[in-house]
């Protein structure tokens, strides 16, 4: 039995040109989605090689210098507004909205690591 798509997009159908256009649009959308996913994956790999631990729990610094731990997943954020390398989100240390950015683990002192681990924001990306 033919599927609904086959019945509408059969070679004898007057809509064959429309079916081809629809299939082209779906194909373009898939290619775009794959390209975006590959770009995020490549960005994550580059950042990890540069010493940033993106892709999970990350110590970040706000514009006022406060350190805290947040979930940083490239391309995903429900609690913040992504602005390239920065994110606009709430700082739980100073209780204010600000720009934050990840900090390399190698650049943190033991005290700074401890402070960052003690302060966490809400547990969603």
CB atoms closer than 10 angstroms to residue 61: 20
Domain ranges of the chain: 4-49, 56-118
Residue 54 has pLDDT above 90, yes or no: no
The rounded distance, in Å, linking the Cα atoms of 20 and 22 is: 5
Given its phi and psi angles, is residue 84 left (phi above 0), alpha (psi -120 to 50 degrees) or beta? Answer: left
Give the confidence band of 106 by pLDDT, cuts at 50, 70, 90.
confident
Burial, 105: exposed, middle or buried (Cβ in 10 Å; 0-12, 13-18, 19+)?
middle
Q: Which of 10-19, 45-54, 68-77, 111-120 has the highest mean pLDDT?
A: 111-120
pLDDT digits (tens, 9 = 90+) for 56-98: 889 999 999 999 999 988 777 889 998 878 999 999 999 999 9
C-beta of residue 100 within 8 angstroms of C-beta of residue 64 = no
Burial, 60: exposed, middle or buried (Cβ in 10 Å; 0-12, 13-18, 19+)?
buried
Average pLDDT over residues 26-44: 80
Cβ neighbours of residue 81 under 8 Å, at least 6 residues apart?
A: 87, 88, 89
Residue 113 has pLDDT above 70, yes or no: yes
Task: Give the percent of the chain with pLDDT over 90.
Answer: 37
Cross-strand bridge partners of residue 86: 83
């Amino acid at each position: 039995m033919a599927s609904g798509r086959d019945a509408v997009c059969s070679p004898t159908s007057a809509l064959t040109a429309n079916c081809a256009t629809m299939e082209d649009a779906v194909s373009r959308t898939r290619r775009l989605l794959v390209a975006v996913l590959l770009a995020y994956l490549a960005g994550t790999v580059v950042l990890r090689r540069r010493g940033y631990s993106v892709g999970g729990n990350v110590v970040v610094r706000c514009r006022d210098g406060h350190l805290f731990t947040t979930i940083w997943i490239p391309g995903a954020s429900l609690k913040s507004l992504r602005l390239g390398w920065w994110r606009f989100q709430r700082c739980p240390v100073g209780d204010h909205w600000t720009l934050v950015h990840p900090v390399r683990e190698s650049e943190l002192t033991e005290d700074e690591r401890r402070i960052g681990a003690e302060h966490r924001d809400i547990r969603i990306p």
